[in-house]
Amino acid sequence: MSRINGFVGRRHFLKLAGVGSVGMMASVAGCDLSANVKQAIAPKKTLTDAIAANRNPVSPEQALKRLLAGNQRFVQQKRQYPDQSLERIRMIAQAQYPFAAILGCADSRVPTEIIFDQGLGDLFVVRVAGNVVCDTVIGSLEYATAVLGSQLIVVLGHKRCGAVAKALQDKPVSGRMGLIIEGIKPAVETAKLTTKNLQDNAVIANIKYQASKLQENSTILSRLVRQNKLKIVGARYDLDSSKVSIVYS
């Protein structure tokens, strides 16, 4: 298998996807005729060009910087809406190279691509109530990193998380919802040792707990971390300010 930086390489990925060079449609640049002429004669982008441009994974530091810059734009209401064009849709239709993976809460108020101002194909996102780590979550993130080449995983919790609040109540929960609460309880017990702002401290404790659990329960992720090909961080989203803060690294 052809590999790049320890990840699945371009040649093998193209073989799996069964794609070659696909012509991309040139975009129309307003009413400037000269600009249109220049675009018309410029070489068209192809899927192969896109693969070549993205075959090397973005470093953990670069990925985190890009995410936080996007969140800053969101906070300031200066979103750029990147990678959402028709050209982008066609460019990533046969292959994906997300620069980061996110394990986030399923809360409807925390839409990952929006709060980080990212677009199609930029993020590999796994969402579950309470951002709880389980076997299927681990498997998904192993795929994002070992196969797709993402070198950053962000465990993203948020202020006033309902799942964490329920775990703090320590009351029976019906149905399969109890599995989520059980996955949060160890973090809640740690948070109970604090005396100030138990709810928020429990959210942060849960973020840290789930982030450490990823590495502890996956030989693939732990190996990539040891090889400096992966960084796992924890972050908290503030529902009031819309700001993301790093709480674990």
Residues forming the annotated binding site? 105, 107, 158, 161
* CA–CA distance, 156 with 138 (Å, rounded to integer): 15
The pairing of strands 244-248 and 7-8 is: unpaired
The pairing of strands 244-248 and 231-237 is: antiparallel
> Token pair of 216, please?
């502890």
The DSSP output letter for 155 is E
The binding site for Zn(2+) comprises 105, 107, 158, 161
> 3-class DSSP state for residue 124?
strand
| Nearest one of 141, 155, 159 to 112, comparing CA atoms | 155
* CA–CA distance, 137 with 215 (Å, rounded to integer): 12
**Cα angle at 140 between 139 and 142, to 5 degrees?**
65
| Nearest one of 231, 233, 213, 237 to 137, comparing CA atoms | 213
